[in-house]
A = this chain, B = another copy of it.
Amino acid sequence: MHEAALELFGERGYARVTAAEVAERAGLTERTFFRHFADKREVLFDGNELGGLLAAAVADAPEGVAPVEAVVAGLEAVAAVFEDRREAVARRARVVEAHPELRERELAKLASWSKALEGVLVGRGLPEPDAMLLAEVSVAVFRVAYRRWLDGGTARELAAIIRETLAGLGGLFAHTAPGPRDLSAARAGAAARRSDR
């Protein structure tokens, strides 16, 4: 169904394709279509297969590994699926990018990944506030790596880009958490600049 939908959306544009047409292209009845999907939009979001894979891989990481390593193992499991379907993933991404309602749905999907990840991390013993932080930031890292992977053509593997993106965090946040004094100095500087104009 996924393949049929991508073909049709690519040929005629997402807005001009009906659920019945997707079903027909896939050689199925409209009734079968609606047994599996609420509407044509949902064909592009596959239940929550990948979110489940992510959570399971994190849960299955060996007990001793650091939480971030468990998350990386989960993101790599998702990356392996994407790598195998690179062409279809790229076509799907183009359709999603082109439609605000699909972009919103994609954000909701990623938010559900983050929620699932948070639950699994708590299950692994990470205290709650850290679990939410690690989950949210990891999904943000995944989004960035995914975007780089799509933009980079076939040159690099997604798993490698995820590791590289994670490694880049350290440098960017090295100057993190300045005390109130540093910030009020920065603010005073900003105010001074504004009054200079």
Contact = CB atoms under 8 A, between A and B. Distances in A.
Contacts of A147: 132
Contacts of A155: none
A151 to B, nearest CB: 9
Chain B CB within 10 Å, residue with most, of A111, A148, A172: A172
Interface stretch (A10-18, A41-49, A82-90, A135-143): A135-143
A173 B170 contact: yes
B173 A169 contact: yes
Nearest to A111: B107
B134 A172 contact: yes
Given A104-B107, A108-B107, A111-B107, A130 B190 contact: no
Contacts of A177: 163-164, 166-167
Given A62-B189, A190-B57, A133 B168 contact: yes
Interface of A: 57, 60-62, 65-69, 72-73, 76, 100, 103-105, 107-108, 111, 129-130, 132-134, 136-137, 139-141, 143-144, 147-148, 163-170, 172-178, 182-183, 186-187, 189-190, 193-194
Enumerate the 3 nearest inter-chain pairs by beta-carbon distance, A residue then B residue, closest first. A167-B177, A62-B189, A66-B175
